[in-house]
């Protein structure tokens, strides 16, 4: 179920207004959820769908948004230490945990969450996100006013934050197709990173710290017999599924995509909830993902579970498109956002909780994008492979003859060439295309700088492990998990996946990984576990990135009608995109087909600008057709 929280720290008690109300209204949207807020001096906090908990003296309050999978164990631990509880609300539990353990209480939590602790005695706020990033949390601080919330639109609603685009983030969006790490599309609004907490003191100082390090587990290098690994993973997946099944009489479904991850998730859920019924839901792009839908139908038949299938056609592709972008909060240039929206809407008609296989690719290297084989290496790559002492001897010699070349070697020496290659191979707009589309934006993003800014990649043992680590920290959290959580919660669904499990992440990261793998080696652990459950043809079915996905749809039906509007849209008028480049990639049907992936990402961003920056924020989903929106002045 959708919910969340928001809050404001005003400069002083004399400037307190009721700005919390529009923030909570933006989070509530059109869902029937309870709203509560509380004011303490210059601090205002509010919750949607979950009550605010207080200690006896009202010196501490807490709000918890999400699921806590170890609720019973943690409550029993605190009961044994003399604490008493007045409810089963997770907010009260984390409040008591904070009272006893202080900031170390975060180490005790196992779940998918965003949370707030308001400690009025110590005059500080504690904001935190779960380890993987299932729930989002945004913040803004101009040195006087501190604003935070679990929805981006909540921060934009009261008018406290200027509606100015963050151009560095927009450049990153074009490169990745989504907004990675702590970036948001609005200037000076930040995302709190997963596994981090933010301490805001009432004197306007703040700090951000991490409470869990995923990269540290890659250093442990466990070598285990194959049978031990398989038994451990099987038991972990079973336990992970069990603790994610809601208590009570919730109706449960699963998303089936045709991949081994979603099939495996359905198998474990069905095994845990029997004899209760499980329902399956599949959405396909007609003429594009027919084989995936056929494979998903085979899984449903194999597990003997009823399946609902819905098809997206070129004619219905852009139906409710502005509503999809409004629900997302952030732009994501992936056409699969349409399928995710349709899946959530389809499932919400019949179930209240739905499982998927999200996270299986990144845990088990199921996708073909991890088939990076070691080939010929260039001069810089050979230099990177040299021992560090030898590098230190060679660099001054190069600098003596050519300082510019020496600087280039120094820069390359700090970056694993295979990691850069992996980034470039999986980019939406590569560096050359970004430069053509927007020479200005091209100056704001450098993949190598990005790697050094965000990742402890020097701690990762193998190239394959670094690819998996990178995807967990970006693609998984900021694209896939983000869109699934947003779309399902907007439809009132509780979304779960057994693969986003702390114990699984830590264990699998600790195992030895090779530097490179072949396609036949993708997902070997999960494939081995599913032998005897599914047919060999399904287990070994390769999962590949579709080249030119939906490209022919760009010149069909209502998409082509939008091309003239994109040519003179906000992105072109403001100089974010080159008018000449837009004209070039839309000059005829062939150009539109060849550049469809760029045009779709541009359409998403254009719609996002219209909804979030160019007009007054709406409190409920905007359900008009996309052409009407783009025609608005």
pLDDT confidence of 396, banded at 50, 70, 90?
low
Q: Which residue has the higher pLDDT, 608 or 381?
A: 608
CB 594 within 8 A of CB 606: no
Pair (126, 176) in one structural domain:
yes
The pLDDT tens digits of the residues spanning 398-456 come to 555 555 555 555 555 556 677 777 888 889 998 899 999 999 899 998 888 888 776 55
Domain boundary among 212, 244, 274: 212
Do 537 and 521 reside in the same domain of the chain?
yes
* Predicted local distance difference test score (pLDDT) of residue 318: 95
373 pLDDT more than 70: no
Q: Please name the residue that has the structure tokens 């000076």.
A: 188
* pTM of the full structure: 0.92
Q: Is 218 inside a domain boundary? A: no
- The reply to whether 272 and 386 lie within a common domain is yes
Helix (H) / strand (E) element for 524: namely: helix 524-529
Per-residue pLDDT of 473-528, as tens digits, reads: 899 999 999 999 999 999 999 999 999 999 999 998 888 765 555 555 677 899 99
Q: Would the pLDDT of 632 be above 70?
A: yes
Average pLDDT of the residues in 20-45: 89
CA distance 338 to 497: 20
| φ, ψ of residue 413 in degrees (nearest 5) | -65, -20
- Which tokens is 520 given? 């036949």
* pLDDT, tens only, 262-295: 999 999 999 999 999 999 999 999 999 999 999 9
Tokens coding 88: 């089963």
Q: Does the pLDDT value for residue 220 go beyond 50?
A: yes
Same domain (yes/no): 498, 584:
no
Question: What pLDDT does residue 616 have?
Answer: 75
Per the CB < 8 A criterion, the answer to whether 184 and 169 are in contact is yes
- Quote the number of domains for the chain: 3
Distance of CA 342 to the CA centre of its chain: 19
> Domain of 114: which CATH number?
3.60.20.10
Q: Are 522 and 259 in contact (CB under 8 A)?
A: no
* Dihedral sign for Cα atoms in the order 430, 432, 433, 437: positive
Task: Considering only residues 384 and 44, tell me which one the structure prediction assigns the higher pLDDT.
Answer: 44
**CA dist., res. 110 & res. 119, Å (int):** 22
Q: What angle do CA 421, 448, 584 make, to 5 degrees?
A: 70
pLDDT, greater one: 169 or 364: 169
220 domain-assigned: no
Residue 215 has a pLDDT of 84
Question: Residue 531: beta bridge partners?
Answer: 534
Handedness of CA 386, 391, 394, 400 (dihedral sign): positive
**Of the candidates 212, 246, 261, which is a domain's last residue?**
212
Q: Are residues 117 and 40 in the same domain?
A: yes
pLDDT classification of 622: cutoffs 50, 70, 90: confident
- Sheet of 60-68: strand order equals 53-54, 60-68, 111-119, 124-129, 196-201, 206-210
CA dihedral sign of residues 394, 397, 398, 403: positive
The tens digit of pLDDT for each residue in 93-122 reads: 999 999 999 999 999 999 999 999 999 999
At 42, the pLDDT band (50, 70, 90 cuts) reads very high
Report CA Rg, the chain.
25
Query: Is 222 inside any structural domain?
Result: no
Tokens for 63? 């709000």
Domain annotation covers residue 623:
yes
**Are residue 420 and residue 459 in the same domain, yes or no?**
yes
Domain boundary pick from 212, 241, 266: 212
| pLDDT tens-digit series, residues 564-593 | 999 999 999 999 999 999 999 999 999 999
pLDDT score of 391: 54
Residue 287 resides in a domain? yes
Q: Residue 499 has what pLDDT?
A: 96
> Is the confidence at residue 322, as pLDDT, over 60?
yes
Residues 236 and 131 in one domain: no
Q: Is residue 223 part of a domain?
A: no
- Are 529 and 406 members of one domain? yes
User: Do residues 593 and 552 make contact, with C-beta atoms less than 8 angstroms apart?
Assistant: yes
Say what the pLDDT of residue 565 is. 96
Average pLDDT of span 171-190: 96
Spatial CB neighbours of 243, under 8 Å, sequence gap ≥ 6: 69, 70
Residues 330 and 195 in one domain: no
Residues contacting residue 164 through CB under 8 Å, at least 6 positions apart: 186, 187, 188, 613
Q: Is the peptide bond before 581 cis (omega within 30 degrees of 0)?
A: no
Say yes or no to pLDDT of 383 above 50: no
Q: Give me the pLDDT at residue 572, please.
A: 96
Give residue 395's pLDDT.
52
Indicate if 517 and 594 belong to the same structural domain: no
3 state SS of 126: strand
Domain assignment present for residue 488? The answer is yes
CATH of the domain at 494: 3.40.50.620
Q: Does 248 map to a domain?
A: yes
Query: How far is CA 159 from each of CA 386, 548, 616, rounded to the nearest angstrom?
Result: 54, 41, 9
- Residue 72's domain comprises 4-212
DSSP class of 453: H
**396 and 511 part of one domain:** yes
The rounded distance, in Å, linking the Cα atoms of 344 and 282 is 10
Asked if 481 and 574 sit in the same domain, the reply is: no
Give the model confidence (pLDDT) of 59-86 as tens digits: 999 999 999 999 999 999 999 999 999 9
């Amino acid at each position: 179920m959708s919910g969340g929280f928001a809050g404001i720290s005003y400069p002083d008690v004399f400037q307190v207004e009721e700005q919390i109300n529009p923030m909570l209204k933006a989070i509530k949207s059109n869902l029937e959820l309870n709203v509560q807020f509380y004011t303490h001096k210059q601090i205002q906090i509010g919750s949607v769908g979950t009550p605010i908990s207080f200690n006896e003296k009202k010196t501490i309050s807490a709000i918890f948004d999400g699921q806590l999978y170890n609720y019973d164990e943690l409550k029993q631990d605190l009961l044994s230490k003399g604490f008493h509880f007045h409810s089963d609300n997770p907010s009260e539990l984390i409040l008591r945990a904070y009272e006893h353990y202080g900031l170390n209480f975060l180490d005790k939590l196992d779940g998918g969450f965003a949370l707030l602790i308001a400690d009025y005695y110590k005059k500080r706020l504690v904001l935190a996100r779960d380890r993987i990033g299932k729930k989002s949390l945004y913040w803004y601080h101009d040195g006087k006013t501190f604003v935070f919330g679990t929805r981006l639109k909540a921060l934009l609603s009261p008018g406290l934050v200027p509606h100015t685009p963050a151009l560095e983030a927009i450049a990153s969006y074009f490169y990745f197709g989504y907004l990675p790490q702590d970036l948001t599309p609005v200037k000076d609004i930040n995302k709190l990173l997963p596994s981090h907490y933010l301490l805001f003191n009432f004197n306007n100082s703040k700090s951000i710290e991490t409470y869990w390090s995923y990269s540290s587990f890659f250093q442990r290098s466990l070598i285990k017999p194959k049978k031990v690994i398989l038994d451990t993973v099987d038991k972990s997946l079973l336990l992970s599924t069990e603790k994610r099944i809601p208590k009570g009489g919730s109706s449960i479904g699963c998303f089936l995509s045709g991949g081994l991850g979603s099939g495996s998730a359905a198998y474990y859920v069905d095994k845990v909830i029997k004899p209760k019924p499980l329902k399956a839901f599949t959405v396909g792009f007609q003429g594009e993902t027919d084989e995936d839908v056929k494979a998903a139908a085979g899984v449903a038949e194999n597990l003997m579970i009823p399946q609902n299938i819905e098809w997206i056609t070129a004619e219905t592709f852009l139906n409710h498109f502005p509503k999809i972008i409004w629900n997302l909060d952030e732009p994501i240039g992936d056409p699969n956002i349409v399928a995710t929206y349709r899946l959530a809407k389809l499932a919400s008609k019949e179930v209240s909780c739905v499982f998927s296989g999200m996270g299986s690719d990144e845990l088990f290297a199921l996708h073909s994008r991890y088939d990076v084989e070691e080939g010929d290496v260039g001069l810089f790559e050979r230099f990177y492979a040299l021992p560090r002492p030898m590098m230190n001897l060679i660099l001054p010699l190069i600098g003596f003859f050519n300082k510019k070349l020496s600087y280039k070697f120094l820069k390359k020496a700090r970056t694993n060439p295979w990691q850069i290659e992996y980034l470039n191979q999986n980019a939406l707009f590569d560096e050359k295309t970004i430069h053509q589309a927007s020479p200005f934006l091209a100056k704001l993003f450098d993949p190598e700088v990005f790697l050094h800014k965000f990742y402890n990649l020097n701690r990762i043992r193998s190239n394959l492990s670094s690819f998996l680590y990178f995807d967990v920290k970006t693609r998984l959290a900021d694209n896939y998990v983000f869109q699934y959580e947003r779309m399902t919660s907007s439809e009132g669904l509780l979304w779960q996946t057994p693969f986003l499990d702390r114990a699984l992440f830590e264990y699998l990261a600790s195992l030895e990984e090779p530097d490179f793998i072949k396609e036949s080696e993708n997902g070997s652990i999960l494939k081995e576990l599913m032998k005897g459950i599914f047919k060999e043809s399904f287990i070994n079915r390769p999962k590949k990135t579709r080249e030119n996905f939906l490209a022919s749809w760009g010149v069909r039906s209502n998409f082509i009608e939008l091309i003239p509007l994109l040519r003179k849209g906000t992105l072109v008028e403001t100089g974010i995109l080159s008018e000449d480049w837009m004209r070039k990639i839309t000059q005829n049907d062939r150009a539109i087909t060849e550049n469809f992936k760029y045009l779709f990402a541009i359409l998403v961003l254009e719609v996002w600008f219209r909804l979030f920056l160019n007009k007054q924020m709406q409190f409920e989903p905007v359900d008009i057709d996309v052409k009407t929106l783009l025609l608005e002045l």
